[in-house]
Amino acid sequence: MAFLIPPRRAIRDAFPYQPGKSIASVQRELGLKSVVKLASNENPLGSAPRALAAYRRAEKLNALYPEGASPELRAALARHHGVAAESVIVGNGSDEIIRLLCEAFLEPDDEVVVSQHAFIRFKQQASMMGARVIETPMTDWTHDLALMAKATSPRTKLLFVANPNNPTGTFNTQDEIEGLLDAAPKTALVVLDEAYWHYARRIAGYPKSLPELAARHENLVVLRTFSKAYGLAGLRVGYGVGDPELIGWLDRIRMPFNVSLPAQQACVEALKDEAFVKRSVALNQAQREFVVRALGDLGFGVGESATNFVFVRAPLPGRELFKALLRQGVIVRPLDEYGLPQHVRISIGTAAQNKALLSGLKQILAVPA
């Protein structure tokens, strides 16, 4: 029997997100015991301990529905960032906020401006709403915000900027972001996705978005996540900070109970776990320097990174390198879906994980250990 009900036109053309391969699937498929995953920019130290303790305490409340608007976490985030609670929305990952923004603002044929090689969820989600996605070229593997501003029109509803960007690892400066905010039409919302903020915040020129830029521009929304420096990717919590009216629209259309109660309570405590974040960022910095040097010694082209991963040009097609590394028990991320068949993205792991990566690469390139 044939299925006779077509989905919306925009959905027919949708291309799904391809997540990093899981450890369990590689163990199953290749019969390997020990597998190292450096494919999804997770925290190799695990989760913030204070968050885990709160998560366990919350277990007892699992028979009850959570409060849908995550009020305690919202208030904690507002205090943390020096903004009003009405300016904050908590989502099932920052990914949910990307989705809500597209659902709230995009009519078919509205325009969305993104950079080439920007985090792919922006154009995926915008296309699913039937919007027209305009992609501008990068300059030096970085979002070219002057070109993005030029690409806007009265039909532009959203501009997405991942800062730093995944997968290129590059960032835009405060001056560049302010230039975009000045040049873009006030009828277009600028979405500044700062998933990797903790790793970039101390770099000279990196923008001070919260609370400063957000307070001055009502057409700016800033996204952050608990998935990276707090080590809570599996809990699925991210948030957006912006104009209370904008936040009100997103709040109206989110799922009624979009964030579980243990997740809400864990994230309130995660915000207090500065020691864990500091340790995570320091490990990342030291190990990234080691990995960049070692990859360079092996002849790979490695970009400057403001994140917890590196963007690597391989001497063989990225997918081939990905497959060869899988056989060595190391998962990295090929970037064909980003139109980058010659590159891979490699998350920074612990010292032991990074050593496993390098010894796998040496095997593949037949370099003596």
Q: Contact between 308 and ligand PLP (CB under 6 A)? A: no
Tokens of 10: 């925009």
Task: Tell me which stretch binds ligand PLP (CB under 6 A): 54-62, 87-95, 200-208, 292-300.
Answer: 87-95
The closest of 197, 135, 127, 188 to 165, measured between CA atoms, is: 197
For ligand PLP, the binding residue among 110, 176, 193, 273 (CB under 6 A) is: 193
Q: Least CB distance from residue 170 to ligand PLP, whole Å?
A: 12
Judged by beta carbon, residue 304 or residue 320, the one nearer ligand PLP is: 304
The interface with ligand PLP within residues 207-246 (CB under 6 A) comprises 225, 227, 233, 238
Task: Tell me which stretch binds ligand PLP (CB under 6 A): 31-39, 88-96, 130-138, 354-362.
Answer: 88-96
User: Is residue 254 within 8 Å of 91, Cβ to Cβ?
Assistant: yes
Q: How far apart are CA 369 and CA 363, in angstroms?
A: 8
- Residue keyed to tokens 């000045």: 182
Long-range CB contacts for residues 207-211, cutoff 8 Å, separation at least 24: 207/163, 207/172, 207/173, 207/174, 207/177, 207/178, 208/174, 209/177, 210/81, 210/82, 210/83, 210/241, 211/81, 211/82, 211/83, 211/241
For ligand PLP, the binding residue among 73, 87, 95, 157 (CB under 6 A) is: 95
Judged by beta carbon, residue 195 or residue 210, the one nearer ligand PLP is: 195
For ligand PLP, the binding residue among 102, 149, 195, 277 (CB under 6 A) is: 195
The interface with ligand PLP within residues 139-168 (CB under 6 A) comprises 162, 166
The interface with ligand PLP within residues 24-53 (CB under 6 A) comprises 41
Tokens of 369: 């250990």
The interface with ligand PLP within residues 105-124 (CB under 6 A) comprises 119
Tokens of 176: 């560049």
Size of residue set near ligand PLP by CB under 6 A: 13
For ligand PLP, the binding residue among 43, 70, 94, 280 (CB under 6 A) is: 94
Judged by beta carbon, residue 225 or residue 354, the one nearer ligand PLP is: 225
Strand 189-193: give its sheet, edge to edge: 88-91, 238-241, 220-225, 189-193, 156-162, 111-115, 132-136
3-class DSSP assignment, residue 76: helix
Judged by beta carbon, residue 41 or residue 87, the one nearer ligand PLP is: 41
Task: Tell me which stretch binds ligand PLP (CB under 6 A): 21-29, 63-71, 93-101, 102-110.
Answer: 93-101
Q: How far apart are CA 205 and CA 221, in angstroms?
A: 20
Q: How many CB atoms lie within 10 A of CB 162?
A: 28
Instruction: Give the footprint of ligand PLP on this chain (CB under 6 A).
Output: 41, 93-95, 119, 162, 166, 193, 195, 225, 227, 233, 238
